[in-house]
Amino acid sequence: RKEVEQDPGPFNVPEGATVAFNCTYSNSASQSFFWYRQDCRKEPKLLMSVYSSGNEDGRFTAQLNRASQYISLLIRDSKLSDSATYLCVVNPTGTASKLTFGTGTRLQVTL
């Protein structure tokens, strides 16, 4: 089983739609969780950290479910500029700085 698993997509949604991605992780001791965004042929960039209580940043909401070992990302009112690959990222040890990256979920927002 992969340490971090994501549906590769693509998710094709119209502008204005709400879309959600899930990601599962295998190590129950994992402490830190993130969503990164990667545009085509660019480097990954931090979108948001995921806290136990869940967190929101504008149109983006991240949730953590420790019991089921998954994290989610919800994007409301999708924009064309949201088209990208979204990487689920986990720190499996909590003490070191090594991060484990999922292979990403591709989102395509269309007119």
Partner 1 sequence: DVKVTQSSRYLVKRTGEKVFLECVQDMDHENMFWYRQDPGLGLRLIYFSYDVKMKEKGDIPEGYSVSREKKERFSLILESASTNQTSMYLCASSLERGPPQETQYFGPGTRLLVL
Residue 63 or 92 having the CB closest to partner 1: 92
CB atoms within 10 A of CB 15: 12
Residues 6+ apart with CB under 8 A from 107: 9, 10, 11, 13, 19, 21, 75, 78, 82, 83, 84, 85, 86
Asked if residue 110 binds partner 1 (CB under 8 A), the reply is no
For the segment 52-81, give every residue that binds partner 1 (CB under 8 A).
none
Tell me if 102 sits within 8 A of 88, measured CB to CB.
yes
Considering the rule CB under 8 A, would residue 87 count as an interface residue with partner 1?
Answer: yes
Fill in the DSSP letter of residue 79: -
26 part of the interface to partner 1, by CB under 8 A = no
> Residue 35 has which token pair?
């969503």
> Contact, 6 vs 104, CB < 8 A?
yes
With CB under 8 A as the contact rule, the residue among 12, 42, 79, 80 that binds partner 1 is 42
Q: How far is the CB of 101 from partner 1 (least distance, A)?
A: 4
103, two tokens:
């292979």
Specify the residue, 10 or 14, whose C-beta has the smaller distance to partner 1. 10
- Binding pattern to partner 1, positions 5-24, x when CB under 8 A? ---x----------------
| Contacts to partner 1 by CB under 8 A | 8, 31-32, 34, 42-46, 49, 87, 91, 94-99, 101-104
